[in-house]
């Protein structure tokens, strides 16, 4: 059976994986007020649990990207979701600070493979003009997961307790696995792809002059300034997103007096803005290219808009009005999503398909490192001062990130690779 526009089904499958990824990831942050009360965890203790996730996530972003480039997208993505689903379910067994650190570490190690893998899917299946929207679609799963998780997890916590909640959310990945193994392969090997769609994909590769599939030695990737632009750009901005993901429910409880039911009703609002930013940024970039803008101009225009909107995070932490606070956080999240969509798209614009997951993974390591440093500092600053300095930092860092990206990636276009070796199986 042939499926028309199969590439969009592939993007939808990656979207589902990302949605499940974020439901599993957010379960702890929503349950955090109850867990911290039960075990007597301080903000510093809680930040150390988050850091365990981020350390594993940062390390495994690069490692998993390299593994996926070597063993192939199909097996790599499947192994990743099985790992993190089992780790998510293992949260139900945690009984203290060290066991929570351990299960979060294992969860981070598994979840790290989602973004390098999904970015590689886009590189394999989509022409350049559609990659921004394809990345936006799969990355919007993070916001949809953020929208679904608060009411879903809150309901299960209130009715079954937090341990059962982790068993339920952790099991979702196994449902996805069956669909993935049924539908996914490379375009050349797919039994579902139409002749017209395969020709579209292969013609686009020839137009970009991507050349033969080759795997560049890992250390050599760090010789490219474009790779450093991606690493530093994500290091300084993904930590903003990490804070909203992991600390927002607790911040709303500590600063604005929200209870668990209110978090369930309102905690999803900023994530709607993320969805708009993801899809809006990807859509706008594609529209500009179709209207004659260069790929360089289209991608960077969206980056500038996204970085500017993220500055709204600064006043969000200074207002005592909870409604205004949520609105400003929503604006910052919208900007982050548009920015993040472009940074996730750039590896496939800049590098051959065989190297995309490795480059994406390295940039993810930068994102993880930024998250580790920022989370460690945030826990201490919040305990000793307040949330205000953290929000000020989140309004300043995106501007610095933008300047670095523009300087290190002077032009968006395929980079001439200097070293290569034959690629392994796909």
Higher pLDDT residue, 214 or 313? 313
Higher pLDDT residue, 112 or 150? 112
72 has a pLDDT exceeding 50: yes
- Give 95-102 contacts, CB < 8 A, sequence gap 24+: 96/39, 97/39, 97/41, 97/45, 97/48, 97/49, 100/35, 100/49, 100/52, 101/48, 101/49, 101/52, 102/52
Higher pLDDT residue, 286 or 269? 286
3-state secondary structure 54-75: HHHHHHHHHHHHHHHHHHCHHH
C-alpha 105/C-alpha 48 separation (Å) is 11
Per-residue pLDDT of 385-405, as tens digits, reads 888 888 888 889 999 999 999
pLDDT band with cut points at 50, 70 and 90 for residue 409? very high
pLDDT band with cut points at 50, 70 and 90 for residue 234? very high
Question: Model-level pTM greater than 0.85?
Answer: no
Per-residue pLDDT of 149-173, as tens digits, reads 888 888 999 899 889 999 999 999 9
pLDDT score at 209: 52
Determine what percent of the chain is predicted with pLDDT higher than 70. Answer: 92
26 has a pLDDT exceeding 80: yes
Question: How many C-beta atoms surround the C-beta of residue 399 within 10 A?
Answer: 13
pLDDT band with cut points at 50, 70 and 90 for residue 148? confident
User: What residues are paired with 215 via a beta bridge?
Assistant: 421
pLDDT score at 219: 74
426 has a pLDDT exceeding 60: no
422 has a pLDDT exceeding 60: no
As a whole number, mean pLDDT of residues 417-423 equals: 50
pLDDT band with cut points at 50, 70 and 90 for residue 406? very high
Contacts of 111 (CB under 8 A, 6+ apart): 21, 24, 25, 57, 80, 84
As a whole number, mean pLDDT of residues 73-96 equals: 93
117 has a pLDDT exceeding 50: yes
CATH architecture of the domain with residue range 6-422: Up-down Bundle (1.20)
pLDDT band with cut points at 50, 70 and 90 for residue 123? confident
Residue 177 structure tokens:
């696995």
pLDDT score at 417: 63
Contact status, residue 5 vs residue 197, Cβ threshold 8 Å: yes
pLDDT score at 339: 94
- Give 255-262 contacts, CB < 8 A, sequence gap 24+: 255/325, 255/387, 256/322, 256/325, 258/322, 260/33, 260/34, 260/154, 260/157, 260/158, 261/154, 261/158
Most confident of 61-75, 201-215, 267-281: 61-75
pLDDT band with cut points at 50, 70 and 90 for residue 203? confident
Residue 65 structure tokens:
């990207």
pLDDT band with cut points at 50, 70 and 90 for residue 208? low
pLDDT score at 265: 65
Higher pLDDT residue, 210 or 299? 299
pLDDT band with cut points at 50, 70 and 90 for residue 264? low
Determine what percent of the chain is predicted with pLDDT higher than 90. Answer: 33
Domain ranges within the chain, ordered by starting residue: 6-422
Higher pLDDT residue, 319 or 100? 100
252 has a pLDDT exceeding 60: yes
């Amino acid at each position: 059976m042939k499926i028309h526009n199969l590439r969009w089904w592939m993007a939808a499958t990656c979207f589902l994986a990302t949605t499940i990824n974020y439901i599993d990831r957010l379960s702890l942050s929503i349950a955090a007020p109850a867990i911290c009360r039960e075990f007597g965890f301080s903000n510093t203790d809680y930040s150390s649990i988050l850091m365990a996730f981020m350390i594993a996530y940062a390390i495994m972003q690069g490692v998993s990207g390299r593994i996926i480039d070597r063993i192939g997208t199909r097996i790599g993505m499947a192994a990743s979701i099985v790992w993190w689903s089992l780790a998510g379910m293992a949260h139900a067994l945690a009984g203290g600070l060290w066991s929570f650190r351990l299960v979060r570490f294992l969860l981070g190690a598994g979840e790290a493979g989602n973004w390098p893998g999904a970015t590689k899917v886009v590189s394999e299946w989509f022409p350049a003009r559609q990659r921004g929207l394809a990345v936006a679609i799969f990355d919007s799963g993070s916001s949809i997961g953020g929208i679904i998780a608060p009411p879903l997890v809150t309901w299960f916590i209130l009715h079954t307790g937090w341990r059962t909640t982790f068993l339920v959310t952790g099991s979702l990945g196994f449902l996805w696995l069956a669909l993935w193994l049924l539908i996914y392969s490379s375009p050349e090997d797919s039994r579902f792809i139409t002749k017209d769609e395969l020709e579209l994909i292969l013609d686009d590769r020839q137009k970009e002059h991507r050349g033969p599939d080759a795997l560049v030695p890992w250390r050599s990737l760090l010789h490219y300034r474009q790779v450093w632009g991606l690493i530093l750009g994500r290091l300084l901005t993904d930590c903003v997103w990490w804070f909203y993901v992991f600390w927002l429910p607790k911040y709303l409880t500590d600063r604005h007096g929200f209870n668990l039911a209110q978090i369930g009703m309102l905690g999803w609002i900023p994530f709607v803005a993320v969805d708009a930013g993801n899809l809006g940024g990807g859509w706008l970039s594609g529209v500009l290219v179709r209207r004659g803008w260069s790929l360089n101009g289209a991608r960077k225009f969206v980056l500038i808009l996204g970085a500017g909107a993220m500055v709204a995070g600064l006043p969000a932490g200074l207002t005592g009005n909870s409604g205004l606070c949520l609105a400003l956080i929503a604006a910052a999240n919208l900007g982050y999503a548009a920015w993040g969509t472009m940074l996730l798209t750039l590896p496939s614009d800049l590098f051959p398909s065989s190297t995309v997951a490795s480059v994406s993974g390295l940039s993810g390591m930068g994102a993880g490192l930024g998250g580790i440093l920022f989370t460690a500092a945030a826990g201490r600053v919040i305990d000793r001062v307040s949330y205000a300095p953290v929000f000020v930092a989140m309004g300043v860092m995106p501007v610095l990130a933008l300047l670095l990206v523009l300087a290190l990636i002077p032009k968006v276009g395929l980079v001439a690779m200097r070293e290569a070796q034959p690629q392994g199986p796909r």
